Amino acid sequence: MPNVTLASFKAQFARNFTFGSAVPDVMDSDITNAIAEKDALFNFDLYPSDKPQIGILCEHYLTAHFLVMDIDAADSGGQTRLLQNSRGADGVSESVDIPDWMKESIFASTYYGQKFLMLSSPYLGGVVFTVAGGTNP
């Protein structure tokens, strides 16, 4: 049950992207492609049915993750960008790090992927329940 549309994506990320009909703006076809990539991986049933807005928000962030990956790939000629944990120039340096559990995920390479992970982690981490009882031979 896909919930991301062109209109809902543009409304969700109105401040994050510049939408338009020509490069370098994000075009409708870019969003449509990212929605298709999200649909290939996203399982809405993993999120609480009593709070559908959580799953819908996660769908939007996963779509944005794929969109940014596609834009980055186009900008770099298909070269990968690895996670950066330090950089420096002219005597100024910066070190950026994310939690280890995020580093192990393919989604940690973009801000939107990290938000998707943070929002999804309570539902995707696995839950174990114990139930008292026994078996009969």
d(C-alpha 66, C-alpha 101), whole Å? 20
- Local confidence band at 53 (pLDDT 50, 70, 90 cut-offs): very high
This prediction has a pTM of 0.71
DSSP 1-30: -----HHHHHHHTTTT--B-SSTTSBPHHH
In this prediction, residue 71 carries a pLDDT of 92
pLDDT at 68: 94
Average pLDDT of the chain, as a whole number: 83
Characterise 86 by phi-psi region: left (phi > 0), alpha (psi -120 to 50), beta (else). beta
pLDDT for position 105: 74
**How many Å apart are CA 9 and CA 115, to the nearest integer?**
15
Say if residue 107's pLDDT is above 60: yes
pLDDT over 80 at 92, yes or no: no
The ranges assigned to domains in the chain are 6-82+94-124
